[in-house]
Structure 1
Amino acid sequence: MRGSAAVIGGGVGGLAVANGLLRAGWTVTVFERSGGLPGTGTGLGIWPSALRALDRLGVGPVARERGRAQPDGAMRRPDGSVIATLDAERIRRQHGEGVRLLSRPVLLGLLAEALPAGTVRFGAAVDDPAALADGYDVVVGADGIRSATRAAMFRDRYPLRYAGVTAWRGTVPLDVPAAGETWGRGRKFGVTPQAPGVTNWYAAVAAPQGFRPPEGDLAALRRWFGDWHDPLPAVLARIDPAGLLHHDVHFLSPLPTYVRGRWVLLGDAAHAMTPDLGQGACQALIDAAALSDALAAAPDVPSALARYDGVRRGPTQRMAAIAARAGRLAQVRRFVGVRDAALRLALAFGPPG
């Protein structure tokens, strides 16, 4: 089947599904509210299942070339002692290849490069998705956690929920020897190599919604994490306040369907999850490949969208539930020995592929 699609949102999921639908012979227009692709952004771990989705979208080889292999990592206590390890070679054995690290701008760039000129309309916000319904066979809501498309479909019946933590993230001009997370009592700090000479970092602290440290973000981060093991003090010393991002962490109440009529949701618009498994971008890529495949193979739009909903809603909502449980573990302030045992057990069963 071929047709026309309006994609609302030019992020990872939106650009990915545009690639998939164009390869299937569809006519696609992407509406993106920002004026262009971002020049900066934090790192993403692209897991093997998402790399295979990129293969189906036609850009897998480029993603592997531009990414770098994720090294071994560890989950540690503030004194540096190891709780559990993440074995990169084990992932390769289990899934046939390892995780590739790409920054968000690099991933968005390679997805955009594969699209014909004019496919993406930058500076084109869509506040009323219904206005596109008559002009396209399918309207794809890839417009993020605060999706206008989802609001048009369900109003406020399935709200965002506060996850109980507030988070900071950014990059620093520093090489670190390995990726990893360090877990204290009700807070954690993580680092991931992003590119030569650049490290992605993030921090999360259990706090009431809307919490803002009175002494300022950077001062608070250095107070909370400055006496933790190396190389965290060096990372904290190199944080540029101008590039520091701070936001409360939310996740989406599970939806009963990702489809309504000719409207369909993917990525965070459909299943925004906490970042604890690092699966947000990966699941958006897999959504994009599944939706493209369904619309290419089915005889009509309703059966294609029903197939996509059946294939993706269950797995993504299970992933979101696992991420939420992992996030709650990070909020533990007492019985951290029991928490550490739970972390070791979780990693023993292997990470998601």
Structure 2
Amino acid sequence: MQRRRQCRRAGWERIGTRTRAGAKSARMKTGFTVLIAGGGIGGLTLGVALRRAGIAFRIFERAPAMLKVGAGISMQSNAMLAFRTLGIDTQVAAAGQKINGGSILTPRNEEISSMLVREVSELVDAPMITIHRGLLQDVLHHAVGDDCLTLGAKVEGYRDGPDGIFVKLSDGTEVRGDLLVAADGLRSAVRAQMLHEPAPRYSGYTSWRGVCEVSDGVRPDYTSESWGQGSRFGVVPIGNGQTYWFATANAPEHGVDQPDARTELLKRFAGWHAPIPQLIQNTPNSAILRTDIHDRAPIEKWAEGRVVLLGDAAHPMTPNMGQGGCQAVEDAVVLARCLAVEAELPAALARYQALRVKRANEFVTRSYRIGQIGQWENPAACWVRAKLLKVTSSKRVTNEMRRRIEFSAP
């Protein structure tokens, strides 16, 4: 009953429910087709949700194949609750690692804050799962199928008309649909045409990510993030005998590692507690990904005509709360539900924005602020930061985590 109330507040109660509004909209949407730009987590989840709702769709992914690329990702309880409405939460959990706790540490391995993940998961009846991004993509790909997925096809633009939306692909062809969903990421070509914005904003710090075999000292159900002066290092077990790790450091944009990433990281994190040096050492240099951290200031308008934004195309955020992928999953489930229960497209898109914009934008703002605090360099400021984190009660942390993942909506 508690889970059902949470779903109602969120606007994503099980899509398969037979309601009068849902039945009416299904009849009216005969021949209605959704075109999805991007076959990442958001685009694939939307495909699963639309298939479950009985709405036709096509996904266009620029990559020539669905490869197991990337590193690790956290699917927190809110995302797992959303996956549950699609009937795939069990498959996601089986492919990853259930997390029961976590800590923020100093470089000398002193705990300054704890995260009561298990307690919060029990409160909302959904686990936190960490997983290799490629394995999550496999689960979603299997649920979507291949019949509506076109690979090697990048959406480069569109033209919106009274009789439909016409999408231009990288090979020069055009495809007609009734709605275009931009799930094509931070540098979305669809969003660029729709909003004509400047480039994404640089956070002031860069990141490195890698996956390696589990090292001694890595608890399989426990994550940690160590905060230094202008640098951080995260350790995340992702199951299947693997550990995902990430590092951040204040640096100019477009930096290049000299002579290579692993050498640079071993130098930066020399003297930090185990297993940090071992994780870096165990990761082949070719498998270390360096990415400057960008986001965009929140916007209130995600839809225009027959075009709507989703995931990083709508609300790109820094990774400091582990909610980027989770919010894309929420977007996908909510958008599919709105399309299923609203008879007219404008009403569906208005409802989607009403349910999603405020919540997702709060994560963008909060995540940006946490990142700025986490990257402080001044020794005195870092000392104060640690003291404040230490005196923050576990109850307050638990309540904040629960508020974040209960997914209440206006």
Q: Do they fold alike, i.e. is TM over 0.5? A: yes
Q: Does 1:308 align with 2:352?
A: yes
Asked if the contact 1:130–1:152 (Cα under 8 Å) also holds between the matched residues in 2, the reply is no
- 1:193-226 Cα shifts (integer Å, max 9, x gaps): 0123210010000112223343432211101112
Tell me the equivalent position of 2:263: 219
Q: Does 1:25 align with 2:57?
A: no
Bigger mean CA offset, 133-142 vs 308-317: 133-142
The 1:60/1:98 distance shift into structure 2, 3 A limit, reads: closer
Tell me the equivalent position of 2:386: 340
Bigger mean CA offset, 230-239 vs 279-288: 230-239
Residue 156 of structure 2 aligns to a residue in which SS?
Answer: coil
Q: Does 1:133 align with 2:162?
A: no
Give the Å deviation of 1:348. Answer: 5.6
Tell me the equivalent position of 2:208: 168
**Corresponding pairs, count:** 352
The 1:151/1:343 distance shift into structure 2, 3 A limit, reads: farther
Asked if the contact 1:226–1:236 (Cα under 8 Å) also holds between the matched residues in 2, the reply is no
1:76-225 equivalences in 2 (<5 Å): 76-130=105-159, 133-134=165-166, 135-156=176-197, 159-175=199-215, 176-177=218-219, 178-225=222-269
Give, in whole Å, the separation in 1 of the partners of 2:101 and 2:297.
Answer: 33
The 1:20/1:231 distance shift into structure 2, 3 A limit, reads: same
Q: Does 1:350 align with 2:400?
A: yes
| TM-score (normalizing by structure 2) | 0.82
Residue 166 of structure 1 aligns to a residue in which SS?
Answer: strand
Q: 1:11 aligns with which of 33, 36, 40?
A: 40
Tell me the equivalent position of 2:16: none
Bigger mean CA offset, 9-18 vs 108-117: 108-117
Give, in whole Å, the separation in 2 of the partners of 1:31 and 1:319.
Answer: 28
Give the Å deviation of 1:248. Answer: 0.7
Bigger mean CA offset, 54-63 vs 340-349: 340-349
Tell me the equivalent position of 2:4: none
Residue 314 of structure 2 aligns to a residue in which SS?
Answer: helix
Give the counterpart letter for 1:168 in structure 2. W
Asked if the contact 1:187–1:203 (Cα under 8 Å) also holds between the matched residues in 2, the reply is yes
Give, in whole Å, the separation in 1 of the partners of 2:78 and 2:110.
Answer: 31
Give % identity.
31
Residue 272 of structure 1 aligns to a residue in which SS?
Answer: coil
Consecutive unaligned residues of structure 1, counting only runs of 5 or more, are: none
Give the Å deviation of 1:95. Answer: 2.1
Bigger mean CA offset, 281-290 vs 55-64: 55-64
Give the counterpart letter for 2:331 in structure 1. D
Residue 68 of structure 2 aligns to a residue in which SS?
Answer: coil
Give the counterpart letter for 1:114 in structure 2. A
Tell me the equivalent position of 1:68: 97
Q: Does 1:319 align with 2:363?
A: yes
Asked if the contact 1:20–1:58 (Cα under 8 Å) also holds between the matched residues in 2, the reply is no
Give, in whole Å, the separation in 1 of the partners of 2:76 and 2:238.
Answer: 15
Give the counterpart letter for 2:93 in structure 1. R
Give, in whole Å, the separation in 2 of the partners of 1:222 and 1:111.
Answer: 36
Residue 346 of structure 2 aligns to a residue in which SS?
Answer: helix
Q: Does 1:295 align with 2:339?
A: yes
Asked if the contact 2:315–2:360 (Cα under 8 Å) also holds between the matched residues in 1, the reply is yes
Bigger mean CA offset, 136-145 vs 93-102: 93-102
Give the counterpart letter for 2:58 in structure 1. T
Give the counterpart letter for 1:28 in structure 2. F
Give the Å deviation of 1:342. Answer: 4.2
Give, in whole Å, the separation in 2 of the partners of 1:348 and 1:22.
Answer: 36
Give the Å deviation of 1:283. Answer: 0.4
| TM-score (normalizing by structure 1) | 0.95
Tell me the equivalent position of 1:49: 78
Give the counterpart letter for 1:143 in structure 2. D
User: What RMSD, in angstroms, separates the aligned Cα atoms of the two structures?
Assistant: 1.7
Asked if the contact 2:80–2:127 (Cα under 8 Å) also holds between the matched residues in 1, the reply is no
Asked if the contact 2:262–2:281 (Cα under 8 Å) also holds between the matched residues in 1, the reply is no
Give, in whole Å, the separation in 2 of the partners of 1:83 and 1:308.
Answer: 39
Give, in whole Å, the separation in 1 of the partners of 2:68 and 2:55.
Answer: 29
Larger Rg: 2
- 1:173-211 Cα shifts (integer Å, max 9, x gaps): 124224201110010011100123210010000112223
Give the counterpart letter for 2:106 in structure 1. R
Residue 170 of structure 1 aligns to a residue in which SS?
Answer: strand
Asked if the contact 2:116–2:398 (Cα under 8 Å) also holds between the matched residues in 1, the reply is no
The 1:347/1:341 distance shift into structure 2, 3 A limit, reads: farther
1:225-244 equivalences in 2 (<5 Å): 225-244=269-288
The 1:268/1:312 distance shift into structure 2, 3 A limit, reads: same
